[in-house]
Each structure stands twice: as C-alpha cells, then as structure tokens.
Amino acid sequence: MTETAAPPRLSTDILISGGGVAGLTAAAAFGAAGFTTICVDPEPPVTAETDAGADMRTTAFLHPSRAVLERAGLWARLAPHAAPLQVMRIIDAGGARPEARIVRDFDAADISDEPFGWNFPNWLLRREMVARLAEIPQVDFRPGVATVGLLTRESGAEVRLSDGTLVTAKLVIGADGRNSFVREAAGIGTKTTHYGQKALVCAVTHPSPHGNVSTEVHRTGGPFTLVPLPDRDGKPSSAIVWMERGPEAERLAALDPADFEREMTERSTGVLGPLTLATRRALWPMITQIACRFSAERVALIAEAAHVIPPIGAQGLNMSLADLRCLLDLAEKDPAHLGGAAMLASYNRRRWPEVKAREVGIDFLNRASMVAPRPLRDLRAAALGALYAFKPVRKTLMRAGLGMR
C-alpha cells in the first residue's frame, strides 16, 4: 500500500487571491506594514509592452491614491515614469458634425498645488510592483498558482491552492477580478448592468504636445479620452480610451491602421493634430457590477472583485486603492483582531455605500455620453456649460471626482 504525502501547509496573516494591479499593491502595502502576506495568481504578470498578453490599459492614479502607493513603498519607483494630469478638458462634439462645440477646462490649480493625478501604463505598474514585492521579506508572491478552495470558520480561513498547498490565513482578500473565485466561494452575489459597449484602448503619438491635459470628447457611443503619457521616441504621446457600442468598437479594432488613424483623429476633433497608432489595439467589454456586500467571514473583497465601472473620470483603480486604504487602516488599528467580524463589518459599512454612490454617478455619465438623439446631445452640452459656469459647483465636482472630502 502506498502512502499519499500530506499536502504542504503554510500559515500567514493575509492571503491575497489575485495579483493584478490591485492585488500586487495590496501585497506591497500589507507586507510593508509588517503583516505576513501570500499573494497568488494563475497568470504570471506580463511586464513588457511588446509581450503577448500585455495589459494595454493605462491607469491614472488620482491624488489620494499617491498616499497609498507611498505607504506601500511603490511611489518612489513609479514617480520617474509618471505623466502628470494638470487639466481635465471636456469637449462636447455632439452637434451635426464631429467638431468641438463646447470646451471646458477643469484645472487642478483651482483646488490644489498638485496635479489631479499621474498616468502610467499598466504593464509598467506590474513590472515595478513585482520588483517591489521582491524587496519585502514578509511577502511571498506565488505567480502561476490559483486559489481553488476556501473554507472559513470564525477563527480563521483555510485556502486551497492549485498546486495542492493548504494555507491558513487570518484574512483572505479577494482581489481576483470581476469573476472573483473568492467572492463566489464566500457566497456573495453581484448586481451587473451590461451596456452593449466596449472600450478600445491603445497608445498614440501626435504632433501637438498634450501639455498635461487629459481630454474627454463626447459625441455618441461613449466618451473618447486622450490621457497624457511621457514622450515616446521623442514624440508627444497619449493613451486612448475610446468607448463605442460593441459592433462599432469591433469594426474600429479591425480597421487597417491608416483608416483607423483617420477615424480616430476625426473622433478626437483634431485636438492634438493627426493621431498615429503606436501600439496594438485591445478591446474591453463595459459593465457596471457591484458585489452585494464587500465582506464575509474572514473575507474582504477589493477592486474589481467588489466593483467594476466604465473607465470614466479614472475612478476604477482609485476606488480600489481607497478599499485598500480602508482595510489597511482597520488592520493597523487593531492587528490582534485581523480579519475578525468587527473589522470586516466596519470595512463593508465604510466602503459599500461610497462605492455604490460613485457607481450611480458613473453610470449616469456613461449613459449621458452614449446618447444618440440630437436633442439629448444638446441638453448634455447645455448641462456641461451650466455646471461649469459656477465656480463653487465646479470645485465641488473636481473634489468629488478625486474622492476628496
């Protein structure tokens, strides 16, 4: 008779399921705070732009997120690669022709001495985050391994990994994306809205400098956004997020580069001159999704495992870092009760209503940007003009967008 070897066992303060940008940041932050942390992900992170599977999105970290990145020891690594965002420009091009008819600039100088935020390519974030994790002795990052089982008790959680390892943890953080395994295993449902819309993302170069202005152009189908990037081969460069109804987004993604560049330049209203494609194009389906609650016994959900919204106003990952900040504050306040019922109830109570309110706001803005009938587009342009005209309203909107109180 052959004896089967017992599975390897590990014990840790925190198990993070998911090593996307949110999970990697969480691992660095909790590790830097002295908690033993294991982070697992079945997909090893892609850390070069030209590698297959590279995440072509960029992330604009808004002002409040910088403090979280500093706490995680990540900001010093990222700062040299940052493209600052000083002005958010909104253009309404909803008239008969795709031309700018209303242009309004929201300048960070109205509310702060610092820019609104800083933009980075996601593949670069992963490269710097993985390098940072290697410096933190409390963190054990295990790429190539998935979470496949979860059993919780009042006293702790037991997580089964795809390589057979059993991990005992005080707290399990579900950072495993919109189809989160942890969320499902904890029995937490979701509410999902489909828009029939996709976001096309790529990077471009252009003759006019962006001047650290992020530009959002509204016509139909969703916003078209140009977000500043550092120069590329000596030319000004921006990230494009172009939201359209699904079939139209697929048509655009399949166009040959010259035709695509012509249509993209027209859709941008020519604001930075002719746009030249600098990377491949990628498509992302647009949904709004919120987990019915953000915690369960010994489990906290963060980032897309908890909430997914369309990329408007750079809210997605910034909300995720606000989740992380809240969880980290609670953990540091009472480390002896890490992952306990009181801590997790408090996390849910602080984050869920805030996320829900933001989700409602983004859903409204997305639907307003999608409208096709001309009278509704005219109404949208009038609303933008009216909101902008009053400085106190303008400042309040800017502060709310940043997540400042």
Ligand X SMILES: Cc1cc2nc3c(=O)[nH]c(=O)nc-3n(C[C@H](O)[C@H](O)[C@H](O)COP(=O)(O)OP(=O)(O)OC[C@H]3O[C@@H](n4cnc5c(N)ncnc54)[C@H](O)[C@@H]3O)c2cc1C
| Residues near ligand X (CB under 6 A) | 17-23, 40-43, 57, 59-60, 146-147, 175-177, 181, 199, 201, 241, 284, 303-304, 311, 314-318, 320
Choice between 23 and 340, CB closer to ligand X: 23
Choice between 88 and 93, CB closer to ligand X: 88
3-state secondary structure the chain: CCCCCCCCEEEEEEEEECCCHHHHHHHHHHHHCCCCEEEEECCCCCCCCCCCCCCCCEEEEEHHHHHHHHHCCCHHHHHHHCEEECEEEEEECCCCCCCCCEEEEEEHHHCCCCCCEEEEEHHHHHHHHHHHHCCCCCEEEEECCCEEEEEEECCEEEEEECCCCEEEEEEEEECCCCCCHHHHHCCCCEEEEEEEEEEEEEEEECCCCCCCEEEEEECCCCCEEEEEEEEECCEEEEEEEEEEEHHHHHHHHHCCHHHHHHHHHHHCCCECECCEECCCCEEEEEEEEEECCCEECCEEECHHHCEECCCCCCCHHHHHHHHHHHHHHHHHHCHHHCCCHHHHHHHHHHHHHHHHHHHHHHHHHHHHHHCCCHHHHHHHHHHHHHHHHCHHHHHHHHHHHHCCC
Residue, CB closest to ligand X: 20
Torsion of CA 269, 123, 119, 219, to 10 degrees: 30
Choice between 321 and 377, CB closer to ligand X: 321
Residues across the chain: 405
Choice between 217 and 377, CB closer to ligand X: 217
Q: How far is the CB of 104 from ligand X (least distance, A)?
A: 20
Q: How far is the CB of 100 from ligand X (least distance, A)?
A: 22
Q: How far is the CB of 196 from ligand X (least distance, A)?
A: 15
Amino acid (one-letter) located at 330:
L
Choice between 290 and 340, CB closer to ligand X: 290
Separation between Cα atoms, residue 335 and residue 171, nearest integer Å: 11
Q: How far is the CB of 146 from ligand X (least distance, A)?
A: 4
Choice between 275 and 340, CB closer to ligand X: 275
Q: How far is the CB of 327 from ligand X (least distance, A)?
A: 14
In order of 20, 33, 96, the CA distances from 127 in angstroms are 11, 21, 45
Choice between 190 and 320, CB closer to ligand X: 320
Q: How far is the CB of 238 from ligand X (least distance, A)?
A: 12
Q: How far is the CB of 23 from ligand X (least distance, A)?
A: 5
Choice between 59 and 265, CB closer to ligand X: 59
Q: How far is the CB of 284 from ligand X (least distance, A)?
A: 4
Choice between 305 and 344, CB closer to ligand X: 305
Choice between 20 and 339, CB closer to ligand X: 20
Phi, psi angle pair for 368, to nearest 5°: -65, -35
Q: How far is the CB of 19 from ligand X (least distance, A)?
A: 5
Tokens read off for 159: 């997580």
Separation between Cα atoms, residue 271 and residue 164, nearest integer Å: 55
Q: How far is the CB of 161 from ligand X (least distance, A)?
A: 8
Separation between Cα atoms, residue 313 and residue 93, nearest integer Å: 18
